[in-house]
Amino acid sequence: MIFLSIIVDENTKVVVQGITGKQGSFHTQRMLSYGTKIVAGTSPGKGGSEILGIPIYDTIEEAVKESKANTSIIFVPAPFAADAVMEAAEANLSVIVCITEGIPVHDELKFYWKVKEKGAILVGPNCPGIISPGKTHVGIMPTHVFKRGNVGVVSRSGTLTYQISYNLTRLGIGQSTVIGIGGDRITGLSFVEVLEMFEKDEETEVVVMIGEIGGRDEEIAAEFIKDMSKPIVGYIAGLTAPPEKRMGHAGAIVEGGVGSAESKIAALKKSGVEVGKTPMEVAEIVARKMKR
């Protein structure tokens, strides 16, 4: 059986921005252990040195020129993260994964349009990254919960991404690509954009979409799903969340009666999506669909 993936695969060459920081170095080691091809790192003032056998450059421009990296992962602190994303876009990287949380919305808006202008893919910010099980991991996910297979997973929630993927794996069901798009009000990728990629991916048979309260992304996705050929299984977190109170993510807030779990679930069901009540039920629904 052939297993494909979207966005990243075994040929992805990664540069780590902020590689010498505590989080950067820790997760670089984890990604290397998984088999990710990390070819360079950046840390201003430390160019010419190495960490974990990875060459360090002062700027992303130098790193890309020397290493031929095509993907960046950013562990730069929030006050400097916007500049890191902008520099990665200017270096013409095709994929930019921004793990950093706490970035001001106006900064996110600025680099969102810059990345779009450059035709690159931005994963995040405030996300766990992306994994193509058995091929590459560009992020901070607990890699042991994933298994290579044919279910695509897209999520706004990091923890639920891990839980539902683990439940799938326990049932013997692998994943083609698992992507956390981030929980902020502004994210590089929308549900619709990722669903479109999964729809075109020949080896993704079923898609799991994990949403949460706040915003209208899930309702917009529900409209798109009406024209999809592949079965979608949904899960929406936040059924018991009080209105006007932010729950975890910057985007997870019900305001003015818009963005509630109930409205999202109703929209998905109207489009023919089976919505699980628990993470385990989601995996069980997927298992049933895989046998058809």
d(CA 125, CA 128): 9
Q: Which stretches of 121-268 are assigned E, i.e. beta strand? A: 121-123, 129-132, 136-139, 148-155, 175-180, 206-212, 232-237
pLDDT tens per residue, the chain (292 residues)?
A: 344 479 999 999 999 999 999 999 999 999 999 999 999 999 999 999 999 999 999 999 999 999 999 999 999 999 999 999 999 999 999 999 999 999 999 999 999 999 999 999 999 999 999 999 999 999 999 999 999 999 999 999 889 999 999 999 999 999 999 999 998 989 999 999 999 999 999 989 999 999 998 889 999 999 999 999 999 999 999 765 455 444 455 444 444 455 788 999 999 999 999 999 999 999 999 999 997 6
| pTM metric for this prediction | 0.92
Enumerate the domain spans of the chain.
13-123, 142-290
Q: Which helix (H) or strand (E) holds 16?
A: strand 13-17
Residue range 142-290 in CATH 3.40.50.261:
yes
- The CATH number given to 13-123 is 3.40.50.720
Active site residue 249: yes
d(CA 58, CA 278): 46
